Chain A
């Protein structure tokens, strides 16, 4: 599986981690950090560059968080969500 790292360094430095995205704020995926079993799966789930993603809800104990993307609601733990880089739109 190819490493998704298309974004130039400067846009990458502007990018937030998905975990730092406030709830209710819309964002667009920039990249997924490569190098973990989670990376490939996050891409397969649709966290590909340009995909719109929205943080919807946090579990009462703070983790995981429900995100909305591609017409589905998906919950991710911090460990996985922090691998996704986004920028706010």
Chain B
């Protein structure tokens, strides 16, 4: 660890290399260039919220590259920065044997302050200056040799995303023990460190880069009081419109494919328990969730684009005042917007929020943002029960209902956040500051890699959790097998078999609790199953209805379902409204609860979130049921 014993490390031994630097310095791009592994590259300061490791081998020497979150200082105030100093102290893992410091050539000045702190730790270090191409394009000039002399450590200039200069960096990694080190480490007190940084900057910056002309131009529109606000609204509306409009053809194709697969299974195999299991359990269950892959891919693509281009930070800047009223900050907005894809990455994105209280509040309300797992439920119910008629121009009633559900979640999130900040989590806020990065077009390859990583995670979930739930559910819905009365017709027999199954009994057992909401035992089974993940209710209903009638689609089946005693439809407008509203609020997602536990370090907060959201869901659902029943 210290320079004294570094020389004893044999070449060929495993080297742990820490990548450190201020946010947005091109660290993650460098990480990718070194390891070939695809990590997330973001333009929103501090997007590297997870500690990521990758491996590479240089001339037989194996190197573990640790990509650390961006930090403005080693005196941590955010959880992100705390990770950096804890890793450097060797508290989280073995401390890195060597540090590769990263600085953006265009803003070397501000990076020098944290570089001073890093050099003072006296670990073998080198500096990689990134984005030299942008520096030159903006007419700036740096003397890297002088920088090397001034810092006392090896300095390399690279253009990370094109691999220029990477050969020298790689070669240096074979022998970090031989790296030069500063004769006297830079001073630590802030004012003296700043003076040191200023003197280094004066010596090495030959010509300052001009302003990023494009960024200035774009910002004069994007951040303009009128144009910027309109654009912000337009971006948000387009965002949702694209997700629904563009995904439809692909979704229809998948739907048709799943239907064909089920039919093919039934024709290829003899009728029996196994065939039922494959067609109703496996294919219907998993297929009903995989159908949302196109929307999820689009959602993640748009979010990653907005973030990598640099718009997210601007959006956070525009709405910071509003968030400030609630007691939160612009960065909470970005975390909440990410939660539209999924609360899990949204909750992880809160690590860039310095204030622990604000962070906790953001985590607690993130599940209220309408995540992509709710889409299957909304799409099913709206598609089945809301008439597709145009209301105003291109906007249809179905879209408006959907928008309304999204808004309901968002407004509830803001209200709950304001309430929490004024009660349970009252307290002084930490300083707010946020960097606005230059606009950049993210490399296409990396965008694809990011999106496929997320889409892969979704499919794995469909392939594991949802597959497992589908199998268990099919068993619970099928066993114990009961003999229906001989006089019963086929649908009646199927119904009675279902009701007597394990799942049916559980649904019947909770019926008194959900009856006020207008839900019958079948919806109850769906709700119980959806505690694992929201979209599972669709797979569950698909199985329940396929078990009683395999000819019709789920949409048609729930529309046609009637109460056997009264003959009234099960899904009345009031019930549909109540069910939709229930899903707006309830926290039915094991992954979210698990990530909350991980991020808050206790089960207390996930339990609190689950409890308050369940109460909210039941109450709002009850109100919606009454209101809609009275109106329609």
A residues touching B (Cβ–Cβ < 8 Å)? 1-2, 4, 6, 36-38, 40-46, 48-51, 57, 59-64, 66, 69-77, 79-80
On whether the beta carbons of B432 and A71 are closer than 8 Å, the reply is no
On whether the beta carbons of B320 and A77 are closer than 8 Å, the reply is yes
Does B435 interact with chain A (Cβ within 8 Å)?
yes
A-B contact pairs, 7 of them (CB 8 A): A2-B189, A50-B198, A57-B223, A60-B225, A75-B435, A79-B431, A80-B433
Does B208 interact with chain A (Cβ within 8 Å)?
yes
Tell me, rounded to whole Å, the shortest Cβ–Cβ distance linking A40 to chain B: 7
On whether the beta carbons of A59 and B113 are closer than 8 Å, the reply is no
- Name the residue in B106, B190, B198, B208 with the highest tally of chain A Cβ atoms < 10 Å from its Cβ: B190
Among the stretches B46-54, B69-77, B485-493, B516-524, the one at the interface with A is B69-77
Report how far A72 CA is from B208 CA in the complex, Å: 12
**A42 partner residues in chain B, CB cutoff 8 A:** 431, 433
On whether the beta carbons of B191 and A49 are closer than 8 Å, the reply is yes
Tell me, rounded to whole Å, the shortest Cβ–Cβ distance linking A56 to chain B: 8
On whether the beta carbons of A72 and B110 are closer than 8 Å, the reply is yes
Report how far A2 CA is from B75 CA in the complex, Å: 14
On whether the beta carbons of A75 and B73 are closer than 8 Å, the reply is no
Task: Render B65-86 as a binary contact track against A, CB cut-off 8 A, 1 for contact.
Answer: 0000000110101000000000
On whether the beta carbons of B190 and A4 are closer than 8 Å, the reply is yes
Report how far A6 CA is from B357 CA in the complex, Å: 34
On whether the beta carbons of B433 and A45 are closer than 8 Å, the reply is yes
On whether the beta carbons of B77 and A70 are closer than 8 Å, the reply is no
Does B618 interact with chain A (Cβ within 8 Å)?
no
B432 CB contact (under 8 Å) in A57, A60, A64: A64
Report how far A69 CA is from B194 CA in the complex, Å: 13
A41 CB contact (under 8 Å) in B73, B114, B318: B73
Does B577 interact with chain A (Cβ within 8 Å)?
no
Tell me, rounded to whole Å, the shortest Cβ–Cβ distance linking A62 to chain B: 7
Report how far A44 CA is from B114 CA in the complex, Å: 8
**A80 partner residues in chain B, CB cutoff 8 A:** 431-433
On whether the beta carbons of A64 and B436 are closer than 8 Å, the reply is no
A contact patch SS:
loop
On whether the beta carbons of B223 and A59 are closer than 8 Å, the reply is yes
Tell me, rounded to whole Å, the shortest Cβ–Cβ distance linking A5 to chain B: 10
On whether the beta carbons of B320 and A46 are closer than 8 Å, the reply is no
**B207 partner residues in chain A, CB cutoff 8 A:** none
On whether the beta carbons of A60 and B191 are closer than 8 Å, the reply is no
Does B229 interact with chain A (Cβ within 8 Å)?
yes
On whether the beta carbons of B75 and A44 are closer than 8 Å, the reply is yes
B residues touching A (Cβ–Cβ < 8 Å)? 72-73, 75, 77, 106-110, 113-114, 189-191, 194-195, 198, 208-209, 219, 223-226, 228-229, 317-318, 320-322, 324, 330, 430-436
- Name the residue in B72, B318, B431, B434 with the highest tally of chain A Cβ atoms < 10 Å from its Cβ: B431
On whether the beta carbons of A48 and B208 are closer than 8 Å, the reply is no
**A38 partner residues in chain B, CB cutoff 8 A:** 430-431
On whether the beta carbons of A45 and B110 are closer than 8 Å, the reply is yes
B190 CB contact (under 8 Å) in A48, A66, A69: A48
> When A and B form their complex, which 5 residue pairs have the shortest distance between CB atoms, in order from nearest?
A48-B194, A38-B431, A61-B321, A44-B73, A71-B107
Tell me, rounded to whole Å, the shortest Cβ–Cβ distance linking A16 to chain B: 19
Supposing A41-B431, A61-B322 touch, asked if A46 and B109 sit within 8 A by C-beta, the answer is yes
**B223 partner residues in chain A, CB cutoff 8 A:** 57, 59-60, 66
**A41 partner residues in chain B, CB cutoff 8 A:** 72-73, 77, 431, 433
Tell me, rounded to whole Å, the shortest Cβ–Cβ distance linking B81 to chain A: 10
**B107 partner residues in chain A, CB cutoff 8 A:** 70-72
**Chain A minimum-CB-distance residue to B227:** A60
Report how far A1 CA is from B320 CA in the complex, Å: 29
On whether the beta carbons of B436 and A37 are closer than 8 Å, the reply is no
On whether the beta carbons of A59 and B321 are closer than 8 Å, the reply is yes
On whether the beta carbons of A43 and B190 are closer than 8 Å, the reply is yes
**A59 partner residues in chain B, CB cutoff 8 A:** 223, 317-318, 320-321
**A66 partner residues in chain B, CB cutoff 8 A:** 223, 317, 436
Supposing A46-B109, A75-B433 touch, asked if A2 and B190 sit within 8 A by C-beta, the answer is yes
**A2 partner residues in chain B, CB cutoff 8 A:** 189-191
Report how far A18 CA is from B330 CA in the complex, Å: 21
- Name the residue in B107, B226, B433 with the highest tally of chain A Cβ atoms < 10 Å from its Cβ: B433
**B322 partner residues in chain A, CB cutoff 8 A:** 61
Supposing A2-B191, A59-B318 touch, asked if A70 and B110 sit within 8 A by C-beta, the answer is yes
Supposing A59-B317, A62-B321, A64-B432 touch, asked if A48 and B219 sit within 8 A by C-beta, the answer is no
On whether the beta carbons of A75 and B109 are closer than 8 Å, the reply is no
**A79 partner residues in chain B, CB cutoff 8 A:** 431-432
Tell me, rounded to whole Å, the shortest Cβ–Cβ distance linking A48 to chain B: 4
A44 CB contact (under 8 Å) in B190, B228, B321, B435: B190
On whether the beta carbons of A75 and B318 are closer than 8 Å, the reply is no
On whether the beta carbons of B75 and A4 are closer than 8 Å, the reply is no
On whether the beta carbons of A37 and B321 are closer than 8 Å, the reply is no
**Chain A minimum-CB-distance residue to B107:** A71
Report how far A37 CA is from B106 CA in the complex, Å: 29
Given contacts A62-B321, A70-B109, A75-B317, 10 further A-B contacts (CB under 8 A): A6-B191, A41-B431, A43-B190, A45-B72, A48-B198, A59-B321, A63-B321, A63-B324, A64-B317, A66-B436
Report how far A57 CA is from B73 CA in the complex, Å: 25
Report how far A75 CA is from B191 CA in the complex, Å: 22
Report how far A79 CA is from B109 CA in the complex, Å: 25
Report how far A1 CA is from B74 CA in the complex, Å: 13
Report how far A60 CA is from B221 CA in the complex, Å: 12
**B434 partner residues in chain A, CB cutoff 8 A:** 64, 74-75
Report how far A66 CA is from B113 CA in the complex, Å: 20
**B194 partner residues in chain A, CB cutoff 8 A:** 43, 46, 48-49, 51
Report how far A61 CA is from B228 CA in the complex, Å: 11
Report how far A50 CA is from B195 CA in the complex, Å: 9
Report how far A70 CA is from B321 CA in the complex, Å: 25
B77 CB contact (under 8 Å) in A6, A37, A62, A63: A37
**B190 partner residues in chain A, CB cutoff 8 A:** 1-2, 4, 40, 43-44, 48
Tell me, rounded to whole Å, the shortest Cβ–Cβ distance linking B296 to chain A: 32
Tell me, rounded to whole Å, the shortest Cβ–Cβ distance linking B137 to chain A: 15
Report how far A61 CA is from B321 CA in the complex, Å: 6
**A70 partner residues in chain B, CB cutoff 8 A:** 107, 109-110
On whether the beta carbons of B191 and A43 are closer than 8 Å, the reply is yes
On whether the beta carbons of B208 and A37 are closer than 8 Å, the reply is no
Supposing A70-B107, A71-B107, A77-B320 touch, asked if A44 and B433 sit within 8 A by C-beta, the answer is no
Tell me, rounded to whole Å, the shortest Cβ–Cβ distance linking A54 to chain B: 10
Tell me, rounded to whole Å, the shortest Cβ–Cβ distance linking A4 to chain B: 6
